[in-house]
Amino acid sequence: MANEKKDKRFLLRLDQGLYDRLAEEANRANQSVNMYIVSLLSNNHGTKSFENRQIIGQTVLGKDLNVDHGLAFVSGIYYRYLINDNGNVDTTAKYAVIEANGNILTLQKI
Summarize the confidence of residues 60-65 as an average pLDDT.
Answer: 91
The reply to whether 41 and 73 lie within a common domain is: no
Across the range 17-21, mean pLDDT stands at 93
pLDDT recorded at residue 102: 79
Q: Is the pTM of this model over 0.75?
A: no
pLDDT beyond 80 at 49: no
User: Is 71 part of a structural domain of the chain?
Assistant: yes
Q: Is 8 helix (H, G, I), strand (E, B) or coil?
A: coil
Q: How much is the average pLDDT of 21-29? A: 89
Mean pLDDT for all residues in the chain: 84
Give the span between the Cα atoms of 75 and 58, in whole angstroms: 9
Q: How many angstroms separate the Cα of 92 from the Cα of each of 55, 68, 109?
A: 21, 17, 10
Domain of residue 71: give its range.
50-109
pLDDT for res 3: 53
Q: What is the CATH number of the domain that holds 62?
A: 2.40.50.140
Residue 60 lies in a domain: yes
* 71-88: average pLDDT: 89
68 has a pLDDT exceeding 80: yes
Q: How many domains, the chain? A: 2
7 lies in some domain: no
Same-domain status, 54 and 101:
yes
Write down the pLDDT at residue 1: 47
28: enclosing H helix or E strand = helix 16-28
Distance CA 52, CA 102 (A): 10
pLDDT at 40: 79
Q: Is residue 67 part of a domain?
A: yes
d(CA 78, CA 48): 19
